[in-house]
Structure formats: C-alpha cells, structure tokens
Amino acid sequence: MGVNEDTLQLQDEFLSLAAVDNFEECYSRDIKDGLYFGLPLQPIIEAEKRLRMPVASAKSIAYFSMEYGLASSFYNCLVSSRTANADNKIQEHEVFSNYRLADYFFTLKSNKIMDLPIYSGGLGVLAGDTIKTMADYRLPAAAIGILWNTGYFRQRFWFKYGQVPEEMHWDPATYPGLIPLKNKIKISLKFEDIYLRLWKYYVYSYDRSSVVPLILLDSNVEENNEKVRHLTDQLYRSDNSWIKLMQRIILGMGGIVALKELKYNIDIFHLNEGHAIFAFVESVKGLDKNQIEEMRKHFVYTCHTPVEAGHDRFFSEDLNKIIKKEDYEVVDHFGREKSWIINLTMLSMKAASKINAVSHSHQKVMHLQFPKYEDRIKYVTNGVHSHTWISDRFMSLFKQYPGVFKDIQANPMILSRAGELKKDLKFRESLWQAHQANKEDICGFLSKWGLSKDVLTICWARRVAAYKRPSMIMQDVDRLIEIAKEYGPIQIIFAGKAHPKDNLGFTFINEMLERVDKLNGVYNLLKIIMLENYDISLAKMLTSGVDIWLNNPLPPFEASGTSGMKAILNGVIQVSTLDGWVAEAADKNIGKIFGYRSEEGKLSSEEDLHMPDDSKALYAALEEMAGLYYQTNNKGTVDLPSRWIDIMIDCLAAGADFNTYRMLDDYKRIVWNIP
C-alpha cells in the first residue's frame, strides 16, 4: 500500500471512531495525511480503541471537571488550515500603571490564540495539567467537561471604577483541535428531556505519542428550549439555583451518558470537586442497595477548597423539581444536610469510596471541617505539569547536565539532584543567565513601561479572591518607596480576575487601582503594572521570569495553590505565607516565609484577613530580600556565589516534589489503587 492509501485508511479509521459533524466542509483539510491539526492521528485511534475495550488489565479513568485550563498558544499547539477567527485570538491586553508620560492605559497588541476559554483559574489549570500528565503516562483515560459557549468573562479595568466584566465571545467551530461530533445525548429529567451535543478535544502527551480525549458537553442545540440552550454559556456566572443545578446535572449525568454513547468502558470515575457528583446519581439508576455499595467503589472525589463558597448547597425542593423521583431519592439519601438543604460536598463524600484533600495542610483543615469522615480523608498534594511550565531556557539548561538531570523529560523528580550543582560556578552562571533572559522577555513584552532586567521584580498573579489577599503589598506604598530608596528600585506586576459576583474581590481591584493612581513622581523607584485578563500564557511568562513570586493567602484557606510551583521549576524565589503546598516546602529553602500562622487543631475565621500585621511582616521580608537581591545583582554585575542563587537552586530541587508526575504517582497509589 502506498503512503496515501495508508493515511487515507487512518482517516477512515478515525472517522469510524469519531463521528465528526460537518467533516467534509470544515475539518477534512485539518484531519488528513495521518495528521490531526498538525499532530499525529495514530495515537488518537489507539486511545479511542483502548477506551472501548472491555475493562480488563489496565483500569480506565474518567476525570470529571467543571473547568479545564489548556493553552494551545505555547504547548502542543494544534494548527488549523482555516483562517483563525478573530474571536479566538487575544487581540490586546490593557495595562494600568503609575507610568505618567502618556496615559494611564496603554494597550498591548497581541495576536496569539487564546486559551480554550473553559476555565476560571487554578482548579481548571490543575485539571488541564492532570490530563496532560495522564497522556504522558499513557493511562487509559477520558476527561469530561463543558463547552462554555461564552467562556468565563473578559476583564476590563475602568479608571475610577475598577474591574468591569465583559461578556466574551469565541467560535468553538474554528478553534484548532476542537471538533463537534454528530453524537447527541439525552438526559431525562422530571418534566423534560434535555439534549447535549458532544465535542472532542484531544490532549496530547509531550512526545505526542498518546492522547487523552476531552469530551465537552454543550446544551446549545436546537432540540432544547431557549433557556436550556443557554445553560452552557458561562462558567460560574450565575447565582440562579436552577441554572447552577442544571449545569451540575449536565456535567455529571451528561458525562455518564456521554461515556456510554461513546462506548467507553470506565473503571474509575474521578470527581474533581463535588460539581460532578450527579455522575454518581446517574450511575446508580435502577440499582439495589448492594449494587449501589458496589458502585461506590468506582467513585473517588477530590475536594479543592476549605473556603465556604466552594461548597455547593441547594434547597432540596429546588432539586426535587428538576430530577426524577428515583434520582432525588439517591441524593436525599446521601446528601441531605438539613431537612431542606442538599449539600453536594457531603453527597460527594458519602458517595465516593475515596476522598482526598489537595495538600497535607488542607487535609488537616478537612479533618476539622468533616470529623465524621476523618479516617477516609487522605491527601494528594497538587502539582504542575513540568512540560508546560518549565521554560525552554531552563529545560535546555537542565539538558546540558545529563549526568545530574538524567531523563528529566520523563522524570522531573530528578530535579531533586539540583543541589549537587551548587558548587558549580558555571552552572550558577548559566542559571542566572537563563533567568535573566526569561526576565528580558517580560521587559520586552512590557517595553513601553521601561522595565529593567536588573531591577528587583515581584509578581502577584492569580484569581482575585479575598482570602488570597491581593492588595497586601499595596497596603503601605510609602514603605515600599522607602525600601526602594534604601536598597534599589522595585517593579511589581499584578494580574488576576475577580469573580464578577464577588464584591470583596472587586473592591480589592478598585483599591489597588486607586493606590496606583495616587503614586506620583516615584516611577524611577517603584513601578506598578496591572495587567488585564490574566491567562495561562501570561502565567507562563510571569512565573518563569520574575525574581520573586509573591503568595500571601490567609492560612489555612489556600488548599494548595499551584502558581508558586510553576515558579520554582524556573528557579523563581518565593515570598509566601505558610499555607497550602508551601507548608510542605517550608524547610526546603525556597525563599522567605512570613506572616500569620493558623493554629493547629482550630478552624479560624475567613473574615479576619490579618492585613495590618501581615503587610508589616511582608515589608520586613521584602526588605531582607531586596537587600540580598541587590548584593547579588549589582547594576548588572552578578555575584555568583550569592545566597540568592543558592535559593534559586533549592527552588529547582523542591520542584521535584511539586509536579503532576509525583501527583499522579500518589493518585495511583492512594486513590485509584492501580499499579
């Protein structure tokens, strides 16, 4: 057979496994010649076949999550031959700063393909990193999510007004790698049937030899009434309990029906947060008590937050109006908190056979919050996907030391040996240069603002939520200016979206914009840059190139946190409170730990942010770090033996523990029970 026939056969085989809607008109040019939007088609065929095999040797996993953070702008980029829809690109980022030469605002032009707009923050990025790692590990796995037709939201800063959320629009039909299937599924509810279209997006391993299919559910089909069609519009944007419940029902029940429709045989149903718990309700339809017990063994549940708003509660009567009697009885049995309240966290804990927190400190908090389940609540500390988050320059640096970082591609845990290079001046110099080059990328990106690679640069970037205390570093700007006068100038970069319904988060952004606005005539000492629309590609640039990654959540409310993990993989030093993953790295010399510590064995309040004391402690920490930084980087001349570079190396070594490979090894052992 000739090459053409071979690849034609691949295309046919693919189409027999994935019934692509509109194939001829829209996708036939991107799925041909053995390629799928530029990447190999063969691994897709293998994954599709493997998931359809009867459950046998290798246990298969279905991972359910409300959100997935996947950026095709810089990792395993899928490309389409169709002209990119302008809506699927990031056109610009607005910037707000204390730079006064022209205007407060400048716009950064950008032309990159936007992240798949189906996530809001860390939870989604973790889900994305998890399925990428499942592909790297060649696990038989599928992921289930929702196709959010209008994404999360687009953030605008308005002067004197703060963050203004704008609806975003994108075009799923032309997003590279995303394909609609002909398959439609039906969920039967009490008073109506609703229909969902299935989409697929294939997530490749780093070496592109295996994939995990991500199935996205979409209620925007003509069979549904207008209200139902809009259910999969916006992620986390509604307060309306009918909408919230229906979205959870779509993810859970819809997910199970979708897996059946695709003939995937699944062993383990992994619920990333309680949002997906209706998957259990769907799975036990028509089963007797013993069979339900048996089914529980197949369900595992990961809890991601100690914050009250993260636990879903609904009026039982609202749910009773939506789902059928037999389904309601299951929810009632497992998830009734009070006679009139259904609690999805409780439902998840009672239904799942395994429960885990996402860090050791989060496990302790969960034990206090849910003492009845203490024995069953384990922990698996989160991680980040090293292939996504280690910058190219650092990866090449590691590859220059194959004796130490042997096989780092497949095994980032080898980073634990970084300390062996501490005395190697050549390594220290290359490390510093790689860091400076990454930092120059940021300075180049923000060139209008005149940033310098030889100025201490601090970044705070993540979701803006009260417990993360975004404005802490701005509590006393005069103090920052004093530190800058004493040791050297400071550059601060800030980015993050506040949930539009989170009034407190919103207030933080206003407060910061106002403080930046009041800064006058100090631009040579203190530059503060606020970037709109934080996303994964900004995260990649910032976590790999600033000097200090600032993380100041109120302990013990950060279940894990992951952005600092991205930073340490690039030798970026931490200034952090003792919370989440940092508590497990505090003795690893990753930077400076400061501030309030929650009392062991006691649940403290989310209300008291400890802002005055902790901001003072932060300034003291920054003073020390600024001193050390300017001893290390003296106007561009680096002091290679400096303790700063020791800390950078210790950060790299700590990265061995905080990646998704270690995390999946733990899930296999502790939660999934697979070899």
Q: Does residue 275 belong to the site contacting ligand PLP (CB under 6 A)?
A: no
Nearest to 576 by CA among 547, 598, 554: 554
Structure tokens at 90: 């990031």
Q: Does 561 bind ligand PLP (CB under 6 A)?
A: yes
Using CB under 6 A as the binding rule, whether residue 128 contacts ligand PLP is answered as: no
CB of 568 to ligand PLP, least distance (A): 12
- Residue whose CB is nearest to ligand PLP in the complex, by number: 122
CB of 128 to ligand PLP, least distance (A): 9
Question: How far is CA 496 from each of CA 90, 118, 459, 471, 505, rounded to the nearest angstrom?
Answer: 16, 16, 11, 11, 10
Residue 121 found at the interface with ligand PLP (CB under 6 A) = yes
Q: What are phi and psi of 18, to 5 degrees?
A: -135, 110
- The reply on whether position 534 binds ligand PLP by CB under 6 A is yes
Binding-site string for ligand PLP from residue 576 to residue 615, where x marks contact by CB under 6 A and - marks none: ----------------------------------------
Q: DSSP assignment, residue 533?
A: S
* Location of structure tokens 């529980």: 296
Task: Please identify, using beta-carbon distances, which residue of 121 and 591 lies nearer to ligand PLP.
Answer: 121
Smallest distance, Å, CB 209 to ligand PLP?
Answer: 26
162-166 and 154-158 strand pairing: antiparallel
Q: Does 563 bind ligand PLP (CB under 6 A)?
A: yes
Residue 562 interacting with ligand PLP (CB under 6 A): yes
Letters for 446-485 (x = contact with ligand PLP by CB under 6 A, - = none) are: ----------------xx----------------------
Strand 92-97 relative to strand 526-531: parallel, antiparallel, unpaired?
antiparallel
- With binding defined as CB under 6 A, does residue 385 bind ligand PLP? no
Of the ranges 169-177, 363-371, 470-478, 532-540, which one interacts with ligand PLP (CB under 6 A)? 532-540
The minimum distance between CB 563 and ligand PLP, in angstroms, equals 3
**Quick one: 248 or 462, whose CB is closer to ligand PLP?**
462
Read out DSSP for 196-264?
EEEEEEEEEPTTSS-EEEEEEEE--STTS-HHHHTTTSSTT----HHHHHHHHHIIIIIHHHHHHHTT-
Q: List, in sequence order, every residue forming a beta bridge with 64; answer none if it has no partner.
A: 144, 271
Closest distance to ligand PLP from the beta carbon of 579 (Å): 11
Please measure the distance between the N-terminal and C-terminal CA atoms of the chain and give it in whole angstroms: 40
Angle between helices 536-545 and 122-136 (to 10 degrees): 90
Residue 181 near residue 20, CB atoms below 8 Å: yes
Candidate residues 10, 78, 125, 135; the one interacting with ligand PLP per rule CB under 6 A: 125
- Closer CB to ligand PLP, residue 200 or residue 566? 566
Q: Determine if 505 is a binding residue for ligand PLP (CB under 6 A).
A: no
Min CB(660)–ligand PLP separation in Å:
12
Q: For 147-192, where are the E strands, in sequence order?
A: 154-158, 162-166, 178-188
Nearer Cβ to ligand PLP, position 488 or 564? Answer: 564
Taking the complex as a whole, how short is the minimal distance between the CB of residue 137 and ligand PLP, in angstroms? 21
Question: Among 43, 122, 274, 571, which residue sits at the site for ligand PLP (rule: CB under 6 A)?
Answer: 122
Does residue 539 belong to the site contacting ligand PLP (CB under 6 A)? yes
CA distance 214 to 201: 5
Largest CA distance in the chain: 75
With CB under 6 A as the contact rule, which of the stretches 53-61, 120-128, 568-576, 638-646 interacts with ligand PLP?
120-128
Cβ proximity to ligand PLP: between 149 and 382 the closer is 382
In this structure, the number of other CB atoms found within 10 A of the CB of residue 5 comes to 9
Binding of residue 536 to ligand PLP (CB under 6 A): yes
In terms of Cα–Cα distance, which of 299, 303, 304, 305 is closest to 279? 299
Measured from the CB atom, the residue of 436 and 563 that comes closer to ligand PLP is: 563
- Binding-site size, ligand PLP (CB under 6 A): 13
Please say which residue, 307 or 611, places its beta carbon nearer to ligand PLP.
Answer: 307
**CA nearest neighbour of 435 among 542, 570, 541, 540:** 570
Nearest approach, Cβ of residue 83 and ligand PLP (Å): 27
Pick the closest to residue 303 from 560, 117, 22, 614 (CA basis).
560
Residue 662 interacting with ligand PLP (CB under 6 A) = no
| Residue that has been written with the tokens 């053409």 in this structure | 4
Residue 70 binds ligand PLP, judged by CB under 6 A: no
The single-letter DSSP state of residue 85 is P
* Shortest reach from residue 439's CB to ligand PLP, in Å: 18
Output the smallest distance, CB 94 to ligand PLP, in A: 17
| Closer to ligand PLP by Cβ: residue 130 or 430 | 130
Shortest Å, Cβ 126 to ligand PLP: 8
A 10 A CB-CB count for 604 gives 16
Min CB(148)–ligand PLP separation in Å: 15
Cβ burial, residue 34 (10 Å; 0-12/13-18/19+): middle
Q: What is the dihedral of CA 150, 153, 158, 163, to 10 degrees?
A: 150
- What is the rounded distance in angstroms from the CA atom of residue 325 to the CA atom of residue 334? 14
CA distance 329 to 455: 62
Please tell me whether residue 545 binds ligand PLP under the rule CB under 6 A.
no
CB atoms within 10 A of CB 403: 8
Which one, 565 or 648, has the nearer CB to ligand PLP?
565
Choices 99-107, 118-126, 136-144, 640-648; region in contact with ligand PLP by CB under 6 A? 118-126
N residues, the chain: 675
Q: Which residues are near ligand PLP by CB under 6 A?
A: 121-122, 125, 462-463, 534-536, 539, 561-563, 566
